[in-house]
Structures are given as C-alpha cells and as structure tokens.
Structure 1
Amino acid sequence: LVVRFIEYMPFGGNQWNFNRFISYHEMLDIVQSKYGKLMKLQDSPNDTTKAYRIPNYTGKIGFITSMSEHFCASCSRLRITADGCLKVCLHGNAEISLRDAIRNGATDKELDDLINAAVKRKKKHHAERNAHDKWFLRSFNNNKRLYQILKNKIICNKEKYHLQCRNQHGTYNSISKLNNKISSLDKAYFHCFASDNNNLKNLTHVNDAGKINMVNVGSKKNTVRIAEAMATVQLNKEIMEKIQLNMLQKGDVLAVSKIAGIMAAKNTFHLIPLCHNVVLENIEINHELDPVKWRITFFSKIQCCNKTGVEMEALTAVTIASLTLYDMCKSISKEIVITDIRLIRKTGGKSDFFQ
C-alpha cells in the first residue's frame, strides 16, 4: 500500500498562499511525531513524489510537493482530460484540444507535432528561470515593513530588476528598479516576480493595485489600423449539405451570420467592458466552405483610423457570426463545435502582428 499526501490541488488554486495548505515538511513532522523517524527511499528519476517508509511497516508514504518545492523537472506524465484535452502540466490551465484536432481531420503527423509542441512548452519548474536567473519566483513575508525594505532597492546577482509583488489576497504591487539587499522577513507570504525591466510585459488593463483599468489613449496619434481574425465552425454532413443547398428552415444562414458579424463589430464596446468606442471605416466578413471536412471558416477584416486598434472588433465579428450559424443550425444537431477563434493579422499602432 502506498499512501500519498499532496500539498494542494488544484495546483496554484490557493494563489500560492502558504497559509492555506500543510507543507511537505509539516506533514513529515506530524507523521514522525507519532511513528518515529521515517526511512527515506530512493525515488526513481521520473517520480513526482518523495517516498518514505515507516520502519517495520510494509507500506510506503509519498509526499507531492506541489507548492513548497519544485518537482516538475522529473515529471514524465501526460494527461488526457475527459473532454479530450491534453494537459502536460498540472500547474496552470494550459490545455491542447486533441478532440478538436481529430474532429478537424488532423493526420497522425499533425497530432504528433501538436503534442510535441505542447510538451516542449512545459516549464522545468513552477516558475520559469533562465540561465541568468532573470526570472524567478520567491516567497516573501507580508508585513508593514515590506515596502520600506523593497524601496531601499535590491541587488540580485549584480543585476537591476523590476519587481512586481502579489500578496495573499491576490493584489499586485509594482516596485521598480530596486537595488539594495533585502533583510529577512516575517511569515505571511508574498510572491515577487522579477525580470529584466526591458523585457517586462504588463497587463495594460490592470493597474498597480491589480484592479481593472481602462487604457488612456488620449496622447496617442490617429493612425490607420487594420485587424483580421478567423473562426471555424465544425458541422456534420447533413448540415453542410443543407447550407450548400440553402434548405435550412431559418433561411440563408451564411448571409444572416455575416450580417450578425457586422453588427457585432459595431457593438464590440458594448460587449467587452474595457474596449473603446471606435468609429469603424470598413467591415468585411467572408466565409470559406470545406465540404469534405464539413466545416465553415469565417474571416473578418476591420479598418479604422483611430488611436487604438480593432483586434477585439475583428475577433467579436467572427465569434458572433459563428454563434449565429450555430443558432440557425442547432435544431439539426447540438454537436456543432466552434473552434480556432484567433487573430491572424494586425497592422497600425506601435506593433504589427501576422500569423
């Protein structure tokens, strides 16, 4: 019999609050206080547990240190969820839908490439750390002295860092360019993420306190901005044939879906809370039928001359077009799948994007 103790599930679900779980060392102390010193066993290279045995007992005890210590580097496990998603790591929500890929007719080679790419994106530890330690995760104590300590500036490996700290309530606080040494702190943990300040990417819709924040674009210049997006709707043979012959009971599904996409683009700022109200100069909604794989792909192209981009308008347009198609076809089948909603091109502003 092997009894395994895990510090916390789902991983990260407690916002990495060390006050909300019993750590591996605490559990070890509790067991040893009753049964005496445990015997450490040799772990195999790919074990995610730290194995022990109570002397004179035949069973084993394992500890999964999901919160307090790294174990990911030795993990060789891949998991398939009940809804057909591949999960290479239990830390975070990242998943790859193998179900959608198979339904879309992916070959064995394409599936192999998909799985291979997912595995290669797996992090070695809970937080990624590069060769120069410019990105690390460390637990700090939460007390009134924290800001005074950090504001004195910190030097790590003789490098200057930009720090962003999250306390146990999930609130983020930014402290920039710190460079004196930190003294020891009391318990009640902070997580401080440090990186080279030049490479730091902030969430523009979140302020320093972790609250929502609409971006102020008042100082930007008007430029021509174009965004293109796509979305795919996976149908079945019967629905595809009825669409091609325009025999659906509700009418011309493609025409209605395109009109819905145009209306959605115009009303994006009503649907997405922090979107700006942008005057759109042109909206194009097109579609592509694949009668062999029974799917329809919607494409949007949105243009404006403004201070902010129209990526959300493009994405909203293809999403609502797809949902409209679903609504008009759902009486035939409820197994319609909307997938692969993504931005494929963006120009204008400070950066361009192509996919």
Structure 2
Amino acid sequence: MQFIRGLGQFTRFTPISLDTLDPFKFELITRRRGHDAVLKALDVALHSKLSFVKLNVVVVKSLNDMEILDFIKLTKDTPLSVRFIEFMPFTGNKWDQKKMVPSSELLSRIRAEYPAVIRDAEELNETARTWKIPGFKGSFGFISSMSDHFCSSCNRLRLTADGQIKVCLFDPNEVSLRDAMRQGASDDDITKIIQRAVSGKKEKHAGMNEIDVVTNRPMILIGHYYNNTRATRPRRPYYETSPHLFERTSSIGARPYSTLTHLDESGKVNMVDVGNKPPSKRTATASGKIFITSLAYELVTKTYTETESQSGDDDSTSPGQQQRAMNKVKRKGDTLTVAQLAAIMGAKQTSSLIPLCHPLSLSKIDVDLRPQVERGRSGSEHARYFIECSATVSCEGKTGVEMEALTAVSVGLLTVWDMLKAVAGKEMEISDIKVVAKTGGVHGDFERAA
C-alpha cells in the first residue's frame, strides 16, 4: 500500500542500543554474547550513507552510570549522537526509582569533566535535549522521560512488528492496523484509524510510580511480534546469522579494554594521570567479615586476668593441646586492638601494596571491629560466629579512597586470622569484602543497598 511504502522516506538515521562498553557487563545485561558484534555494527552504520547514527544508552544507577564519560569520548572523533535514556518502568525490568539517575545529574558529571559543553541545535519535536563539546565531531543528549518529560512536544508514534499503533510508550492501549488491513481497509481508512489513535493520546503520561507495568508490553517486545496469550520463540540475534558484520575492522571501541583505565591503547599497564583533576573531599567505607569458631569468639570477647594471659605452654599448667592453643592466642594480646591498628597501617600503605594506586595524604581512618553472633531459627544450635570489620577513609585529593578502605578491611581481617589461627585456623572464612559507600569525585556519591 502507498501509505506503508511511504514510510521509507523517513528513515534517515539508525538507532543502535548499547548500554555498556564492558563486554562482561554486556553479557550480564543482555544474557548473551555479542558485544563485539554490536561495536562492529555501529562502525558499519557510521561508514554508511545514513545522515547520522544514534547510540541509545539506558542509564541504571550503580550498573553503568560510571561509564558516562567513556561514552562521551566516543563522540570525539566520530559523528555519533549518544543519547542517555533515563531508566523507565516496563513489564519485567524490575523498575525501582532508586535505580533511575536524573539527566540533570549526568549533565553535572559531564560538565565537571568538560566545562565548555554547550547546547546543540535540535530538530522540531526532538525527544532528546542535545549537547555538544566544542571540537568533538559528535554530540550527546538526554531523553528525560522520568525527571523532565516532553509529552507536550512529543509527536512520536510506534508501529509494532505485529501491526499495532502505540501513541505513547507508557500507554498499554494499542490500536491494530494489521486487523484493519486484513479486512481490506483503504489508505483513507488507515489514516482515519491513526487520527483516532492520536486524538486519544493523553496530555502527559502518568507519574513514575503510577505507570502501568503490568499490562503494558515490555520495551523489548515493542519491536518484536507480541502475543499476550502465548510466549513467542525469540529470534536468533542478528549477529549470529550475519557473518558479514565481522568483515570490517571496527574503529569504534577498537581499544580492547575501553573501560579499564589502568591499561593504555595497546593494553599495557598504565597509571592514570590525575594531574589535571581538581582536589575534592572524598570518603569511602568498606566492610567485610571473618567467620570464626565459638571457641575463638569466646577468646576474643572474654576479659582475661593478668595471671591467665601470662600462662605458658607448660603441660603442667596447660593440660591438653587445646589449652596450649588458647594460651598462645592470649599471649598475642587483644585481637581486636591489634587488628584495628593493622587495618589503619594497611590503609596508609595501600599505594605500596597495590601497584597502580596513587599515594594519598589521608586525613582520617576509622576502623571498627565487632564480634557478632548470627543465630538460626532454632536458636544457638546453628549459630555462626563472626567478626565484622568496617573502615571509613577520608582525604582531600584528586582520586577516590575506595582502595584504601578495602585494603584496611582486608588487612584487619587477615590480622584477626593470624591472631586466632592457633584455635580456628582450619575453620575460619573471610567473606563479603565490599565498598559500602563513597562520596566525592566525578561519578558522584554511592551507597550500596542493604
């Protein structure tokens, strides 16, 4: 039909979706391989006769928001338009408002690195607010559907693969062109159906907590055949069926370690240059656990008299191997105090232990070690004993102090192991070492969900 054939004249660009430049994270997000294929497809598009290429990036907090500047760098030497899309609620995507990073926050991060960034010219009814860095060939923009919607100027319609018209991504209602065409509808009939669909479009979509994510089809199915009553068999990815995509050597993402800042363009070890970064107040908190035996827990938490702490290994005063081991632990001193001091020393020696860490002038180190008991539902019979170590490190510097906090926790827990190995060396286990929170820096604050 003339109406359908006429749609081709509007195809002046191609959108490509890629939410991460890390191939391992790509598999985590997509649950399949093919990161290199996407980069090569992007390169093919950039070398085609298309007017321009758009790269869509859905930003999710603590998943890929730390890669924003890496995507910006792609626009330096290529006429690429990177569009950062706020995380939106759809069926099956585990929507959580805490995962949504407002576009204003992303722009602040970019401005901190590129202060000269300016607004770029936009087409009428463009959904993205576009920006450009002087001297860069490409541009970037934000689709702020959640924090700053553009409903009043949106003129987008979507025709799904199964012939349904959607006037808004967040509206579960759809109008079928397929059924009308199968019944012999003329071009005028199709036009009237579309007009009725558009006239029913709401002034603006619901708030982010009121959007229907139950009956509205998932975003991934808006471009695929969709059947509410029967799950459809997913098609094989295009990169598995089109080997010609691999014939061109990709210039996009040619650096094999695009997100590993400690490797240079050739993959060799490289210490990051932070000389041009302004110093700022930075803090980081890390934590970890060491699981111990009940006997070790008793030794750590019990207060011993001077006579007890000085008892030796002599069999006459220490009957049995276990008693000798206990006496050895006592003679080493206060386990928690020694571990606390070791953790503080470890934080100060981080740059000597981790080769590519920058030496930092730390302003404060707080270390806390607490013996705890984790009891099962049936009581003490299934109790687990452990010592939790928490370290908070602060500085006024040009790079973060996460490594210092992690080193403090690691050294503190290793010291506990050394102090208690005589009575629990075969049973102890160190686990759950992680960054709990951080503040400062270009990437903004972070707090791990409980």
Calculate the TM-score normalised by the size of structure 2: 0.40
User: Larger Rg: 1 or 2?
Assistant: 2
Calculate the TM-score normalised by the size of structure 1: 0.50
Structure with a larger share of its residues in strand? 1
